[in-house]
Amino acid sequence: MVFKMRSNVSFCRDCDNLMLETPRPQVDNAIAALSDRKNDWLTIGIPERIAYLRDCLAGVKAIAEDWVKAACAAKGIAPDAPLAGEEWIAGPVATLWNLRLLIKTLVADGQPTPVAVEQKANHQTVVQIFPDNLMDRLLFLGFRGEIWLEPGKPATQGLVYRQRPSEGKLALILGAGNVSSIAPADTLYKLFAEDQVVLLKMNPVNEYMGALLEQAFAPLITDGFLNIVYGGAELGSYLCQHPDIESIHITGSHHTHDAIVWGSPSAEQQQRQTDHTPRLTKPISSELGCVTPILVVPGNWSKADMTFQARHIAGMVAHNASFNCVAAKVVVTAKGWHQREEFLQQLYQQLAKTPSRQAYYPGAQQRYQAFLDRYPQANPLAERTETIVPWTMIPDVPPAADEYALQTEAFCGVLAEVSLEAENAKSFLAQATEFVNQHVWGNLSCILLVDPTTQRRVAAELQTAIAQLRYGVIGVNTWTGAVYLMGAAPWGAFPGNSLDNIQSGVGVVHNTYLFEHPQKVVVYAPFHIIPTPVWFADHKNLLQLAQRFALLQAAPDLGKFIRVVVAAFKG
């Protein structure tokens, strides 16, 4: 049975947009229908699951252009502008790549063979999972992606394909509103990695995606394994407490998570946390953002190095108007680095020349004003308007444990700068590792920028820092947003967060190798990435490249690969 969910139109106070709200009786009917099918999903064999994935691959390809047009309209981007390539990459491309990797996983019976396996002295297994084919090796020259498993844990994979569950489950996904591939990727993970049927509630910010996903994932919806509903916080609360919902996954803020788990912010929430009596008792996984630090390891940089890495950080700030859970938020430098002032000046220049973008995500102006109120030294690099939050640098933020810029995710175009009392790369790596672990909120994402000469000179200290950093995703010379795109890598916070101190969340998604005990992902890249990375704000040919990349991900072949390479080198 198929339920058509979009029937009532109401006003969303949170997003100031018209949204389509599913009537409560239809929501209940959808839950009942999914509950009836949850055990049937367990009987669907691997060949049939691959067929579903291939149908969804074709479905995403068919609606890709409409998908991007809708996202561009919502974010104030001209669909024929180079910047529209961002929406191709973050939407259809990421989803197509994820689908293709899941097909590869199921062809391997849920246990694809990694590129390499290394055993560290502390009984920690490190597996290389990227690149695992010639095409990716050539497209991502010099990249290497590793999964570090939890120390002492085995490198086991594909639990649901080794031991099929005896009973099915119904999962609720509370979709993200910022990046359009998050909701479909989370849905696919619950279905194909955790063996759960899915009720997806669209976020009011991008509920326009729902109709498109209904088309793309029509086979799963028609057969009763997926349904999509629409509404705001009230519906979300109702669904979380519904007795037939057996697990929940949320991408959003830790405030929303705590309201779900402990109740609305009030004396009751505080009392529940004190008494360890959560309002929600069913399993919940989450990805909740981060104050992402960029550790600029001191070295002897050329002018070309300065320019490239300043562009790199500017792209980490500006991508998606800075409404990313892994947007650059704190640049950490060594006070004794002889090139520190020169580098910061170059960073100012690169951000200043990056065009402003529409602040489409609700609450951006209020969050921005909160930073301005606390930091009179904040330096806006363009004009602020009702629809624009300018890229803004906040220099000389103290490296203190309770500092607002270190404890609050701005979720708008703010970049703080902190300097540590370090003179060289060795002392900086040790200090910076302790600083971000102890004093910067969140444990999802961290980036290190380190030139090749310094990498060789302090190789042992660099590896120690990487091992000690308590982040789920670490990029060495690459933005962690690139790791999100590579669906093979587990995506989530460093393990160990608790419900009453949730930080960046619990659990992982993506993870198409289906490793069962991931601790962190580390992706290494060259200091100068060639060709121009797709997340650079000044990429000249991003739209054509992204469109060609989508075609390649949908059906790889040599001709499409060559066209992608040609487009990439025009960037």
Q: Supply 2's token pair.
A: 């198929």
Taking only Cα atoms into account, the Rg of the chain, rounded to an integer number of angstroms, comes to 23
Torsion of CA 64, 70, 72, 74, to 10 degrees: -150
Contact 178, 158 (CB under 8 A): no
User: Which residues are within 8 A (CB) of 421 and not within 5 positions of it... i.e. 6 or more apart?
Assistant: 335, 336, 431
Measuring CA to CA, how many Å separate 302 from each of 52, 346, 451, 527? Answer: 51, 12, 10, 12
Q: What are phi and psi of 55, to 5 degrees?
A: -65, -40
Q: Supply 152's token pair.
A: 């002492």
306-344 residue pLDDT tens: 999 999 999 999 999 999 999 999 999 999 999 999 999
* pLDDT on residue 540: 95
* pLDDT on residue 265: 85
* pLDDT on residue 487: 85
Kindly report each contact of residues 490-496 with a partner whose C-beta sits within 8 Å and lies 24 or more positions away, as own/partner.
490/147, 490/515, 490/518, 490/521, 491/287, 491/521, 492/285, 492/287, 492/444, 492/518, 493/287, 493/288, 493/290, 493/442, 493/443, 493/444, 494/443, 494/444, 494/470, 494/519, 494/520, 495/150, 495/519, 496/470
The C-alpha atoms of residue 215 and residue 56 are separated, in whole angstroms, by 9
Task: Tell the burial category of 39 from Cβ atoms under 10 Å away from its Cβ (0-12, 13-18, 19+).
Answer: middle
Instruction: Return the amino acid letter for 169.
Output: K
* pLDDT on residue 122: 85
User: 116: how many CB neighbours lie within 10 A of its CB?
Assistant: 12
Q: Supply 420's token pair.
A: 């540590």
Contact 169, 38 (CB under 8 A): yes
Contact 393, 378 (CB under 8 A): yes
* pLDDT on residue 137: 95
Pairing mode of beta strands 292-296, 8-12:
unpaired
Contact 313, 327 (CB under 8 A): no
504-534 residue pLDDT tens: 999 999 999 999 999 999 999 999 999 999 9
E strand or H helix that includes residue 61: helix 46-75
Q: What DSSP designation does 25 have?
A: H
* pLDDT on residue 19: 54
Sheet holding 414-420, edge to edge: 116-119, 125-130, 144-149, 518-524, 473-476, 445-449, 292-296, 328-334, 414-420, 392-394, 379-380
Which sign, positive or negative, has the C-alpha torsion 482, 484, 488, 494?
A: positive
Q: Strand runs (DSSP E) across 136-234, as ranges? A: 144-149, 169-174, 196-202, 226-230
The C-alpha atoms of residue 527 and residue 299 are separated, in whole angstroms, by 12
**Residue among 188, 210, 142 at smallest CA distance from 452:** 142
Instruction: Enumerate residue ranges in the chain where pLDDT < 50.
Output: 1-18
The C-alpha atoms of residue 478 and residue 497 are separated, in whole angstroms, by 25
Torsion of CA 11, 16, 22, 28, to 10 degrees: -100
Exposure on the CB side of residue 204, measured as CA atoms within 13 A: 22
User: Which residues are within 8 A (CB) of 43 and not within 5 positions of it... i.e. 6 or more apart?
Assistant: none
Global pTM reads: 0.95
345-381 CB burial, b ≥16 within 10 A, e <16: ebbbbbbeebebbebbbbebbebbebbeeebeebebb
Pairing mode of beta strands 196-202, 247-251:
unpaired
The C-alpha atoms of residue 326 and residue 304 are separated, in whole angstroms, by 25
**Domains of the chain (ranges, CATH numbers):** 8-111+160-252 (3.40.605.10), 292-470 (3.40.309.10)
- 394, β-bridge pairs: 416
User: 281: how many CB neighbours lie within 10 A of its CB?
Assistant: 8
The C-alpha atoms of residue 470 and residue 436 are separated, in whole angstroms, by 9
